[in-house]
Chain A
């Protein structure tokens, strides 16, 4: 990509993305094309990061392990639903991921948890997301009993209007009361520790990027907050 084009892209994106400054946006764009370049070489398509490449980043950089959640995060990033994350989605997504306000994060998380996108997190969806969250007790007759109970507990805690499912309003109210519930159904945001590791001080970026890129872990350059 030529310098002029990069400059233009940086300008455009830093206007629409309020959490990163120009320098940071610039670094992220470079990083994106670095990553995409690799993918492109393998697949011959230069559209952006596909699901697998993106999941790889989520796993290596942000320590995410849950397949389903990672899929949902990909969907969260892939706003236009075209199956890959383009440069704009990349910068905006990371802006939320790393610097997002509580409001932005709530909106994002709710979308991640609302598996069928109907605007509600239903009991079934909860069950689906929580089904691996408890150690299976061999002694129990119904192995899902614990999960079902956990769903009930969550509903009791979060379903403010008592309609048996979580609307965004329910979710928002519960999270505002107890921030720990932001990622109630699974970690879909980088945990503070990983995020910190991912954020390396700007001057060190290029060095680190070169080194760690090879190892599969990317370093995202942002100014220390």
Chain B
């Protein structure tokens, strides 16, 4: 660009490069255009305008140096823009492009005016002046323009590849550079002057996704920016002074994109505040808009005609067109997208804003159907449909309310929509729909009215169900008083309504705030009641809600007291409906955290059934089944039961899976079974210990920790445990190296495993060689009581070899251990006392303990434990001059 501008500007006789600009009409015109562009850019793209260029843009290209003949200084491999071009030249007003395709290096100058992009007549040979008059058509955007002008450009565009050729590169660079340079102009003059522009292969992520997904700039590119990007963008904008990332600056290429970026940072806190429970369905879908030249189905034209009548018809014609449109298969994507593509969505949404009830009904009936399509949902939100529908919720017309709520239920399947519903007061209005009983006062026609009111409430619940997937909406529902209403509706017997009601409750139950209310409002009782319903979907959601709530102990008891365990157990026998089975097994898992519940399950023969479900089930089911068995096997009787039913083998088989959640549960269950020697023998025979051991290499810390915990009972209960452990080549080294982890749970579990491993002298020797002492010592400075306890135990056990006692002292493990005595956890005290006892056999350690005030803290916390230790060592601990204090200081 600089080159082009340098050429186009008219210089004083003083010469090119160092010269000053002449005061000519042309220069003035260029400058004015530059200023106009630059000024409007800041307002149009505030985000991009903030970026400062701290370093020159560099990229590589496949073009060789000879391509940069005129205007560029070619230095080695780098092509530089000629130096000292004045700063203002970098401002973008016109884009000069070398059309490499036409070999002749013909320079043409696209210019932009209000209407769009056009080609200028360019520079005539042997003339210094450039003719800025328009030549040819005006194009609405630069891409269209370039496609038209440059064959190469359009060819590359159609290849859908990222091999941007030079002109694209350059164009982008210029396009991007302008605002930043402008922003930084004052303090970056010098650097700009020597703007080294090395061409480099681009790794422009954002641009790449955009280019591959869609060839035209589009408002739909948003899909390519994920939350992470947005967050980092927000961060970037704050840290703009510290440089700009190339890929981010690229975003200014498309106005649509820039606008979107602005949108995305508008409310960063909103984005972040959304609940993590939202799943993939939140991902806004990719737009598969058809290529313009693709064959359009006949429906497309028919729908286009109907939309024309919708636009130009009175109420009667509109209703006819709406009814006729409903005759198309609106569940089919072709029709859904056809309606959107011919501008039907705008009209349908506009109709909602009229006074014509019939038109509104007709429009909503269509919107309700087509909003099953994710792309349509997004368009509806983009077109501002949600606020209008939210307003309709206030209408006195019940069927209108119902349709609006049902459509909202469909649309609010992604985060932005849910947020829009909340921000326009939709949650309060939807909650108001639940309040149905109030309105049915006319006794004469009460039944009819009741049905209609129930329908209103059902639709309200349906919409709330969709909305409740966002954390902020759960909170809004609670604040709007939705919970008591949901609780009341739960007591009714309308199955259609119960499903969304239970669904909403189930979503909300993930929040602490709700769980307390769930206990108080007799929710559990009714959930249990509906478990007995005939409707499978209802059963599923009830079980799911119990699963969510049963994290809480009191709730687990309530499920039992209301007789919920029996239906859960009996639902296990029906394994055809996998969704329901997953929900039921999930509920059983959570409920079996309480021992009383496990007893009941054993009574109902649920444990045998669960063992039967260990094979041939989808992972969602397996996770829960294994989780439940893991809980059940905490009891001896159940361990025996599981073994007798042949449960060990399938459990061990599951150790080779890859599903994290499943592995965490399987390791726990296998560990629980290993507590019983007979089961342990089976596990050993099936090579289960080796499998557990290899899970220590799993990348996920939860799996590592769970596997290490499970290894403890295995080592404890295996015959010839020492020999078994030694048989795993590299196993001990692996365990010791896990002490370098930064996950507290992993560390605690590995310490526990080491405690067990170190029981065998030979193994202790090996792990000592692997450097267990310094690693354990390093961990000593921790506040985590769980880790403290197991660490102290491990240290105490590792003291049993060679000069490890002394080594712990040398590695400064003693002083921190003394401080563990300040903890409130008696387990920590016990383990620490044991460790200190072992360490105190070394005199230097005794001095350290003394210096760190072990004596000061020994009472009352130590007294119990110290009394168990030998007198000689207690003496050692207190030093020679001090006699042991009286054991009862109070």
Contacts and interface: CB of A to CB of B under 8 A. Distances in A.
B309 A180 contact: no
Interface in B293-333: 305-306, 308-309, 311-317, 319-324, 326-327
Contact of B355 (A130, A180, A193): A193
B397 A180 contact: no
- Could you say which of B315, B322, B358 has the most chain A C-beta atoms within 10 Å of its C-beta? B358
A133 B305 contact: no
A54 interface: no
A126 B644 CA distance: 80
Given A154-B320, A192-B397, A134 B327 contact: no
A185 B313 CA distance: 12
A225 B452 CA distance: 14
30 contacts: A130-B316, A130-B317, A130-B320, A132-B314, A133-B313, A133-B314, A134-B309, A134-B313, A134-B314, A134-B317, A135-B311, A135-B312, A135-B313, A150-B309, A150-B320, A150-B321, A153-B321, A156-B324, A157-B327, A180-B361, A181-B320, A183-B316, A183-B358, A184-B320, A186-B316, A187-B315, A191-B357, A192-B357, A192-B397, A196-B396
Given A178-B323, A180-B361, A149 B316 contact: no
Interface of A: 129-130, 132-135, 137, 146, 149-150, 153-154, 156-157, 178, 180-181, 183-187, 191-193, 196, 225
B362 A180 contact: yes
Interface in B441-496: 442, 445
Interface of B: 305-306, 308-309, 311-317, 319-324, 326-327, 355-358, 361-362, 396-397, 442, 445
B326 A178 contact: yes
B319 A184 contact: yes
Contacts of B321: 150, 153
B357 A184 contact: no
Contacts of A149: 305
Given A156-B324, A192-B397, A180 B319 contact: yes
Given A130-B320, A183-B358, 17 more contacts: A132-B314, A133-B313, A133-B316, A135-B313, A146-B308, A146-B312, A150-B321, A153-B324, A157-B320, A157-B327, A180-B361, A187-B316, A191-B356, A191-B358, A192-B397, A193-B357, A225-B445
Nearest to B399: A179
Contacts of B309: 134, 146, 150, 153
Given A157-B327, A191-B357, A192-B397, A150 B317 contact: yes
Contacts of A186: 316
Contact of A137 (B305, B306, B312, B356): B312
A137 B314 CA distance: 14
Contacts of B327: 156-157
Nearest to B327: A157
Given A193-B357, A225-B442, A180 B323 contact: yes
A181 B317 contact: no
A185 B316 contact: yes
A181 B319 contact: yes
Contacts of B358: 180, 183, 191
B317 A133 contact: yes
B328 to A, nearest CB: 12
B365 to A, nearest CB: 8
Which 6 pairs across A and B sit closest by C-beta, in order of nearness? Answer: A135-B312, A133-B317, A133-B314, A153-B324, A133-B316, A134-B313
- Could you say which of A135, A156, A186, A196 has the most chain B C-beta atoms within 10 Å of its C-beta? A135
A41 B445 CA distance: 43
A178 to B, nearest CB: 5
A138 B327 CA distance: 30
Nearest to B361: A180
B23 to A, nearest CB: 52
Nearest to B449: A225
A172 to B, nearest CB: 15
B339 to A, nearest CB: 16
A184 B315 CA distance: 10
A141 to B, nearest CB: 15
A39 to B, nearest CB: 31
Nearest to A224: B442
A143 B322 CA distance: 22
Contacts of B324: 153-154, 156-157
A208 B326 CA distance: 43
B150 to A, nearest CB: 36
A137 B315 CA distance: 17
A41 to B, nearest CB: 36
B310 to A, nearest CB: 11
Contacts of B322: 180
B801 to A, nearest CB: 87
A103 to B, nearest CB: 16
A225 B309 CA distance: 37
A133 B359 CA distance: 14
Contacts of B323: 157, 178, 180-181
Nearest to A225: B442
B399 to A, nearest CB: 9
Nearest to B359: A180
A129 B317 CA distance: 11
A194 B312 CA distance: 24
Contacts of B319: 180-181, 183-184
Contacts of B445: 225
Contacts of A133: 313-314, 316-317
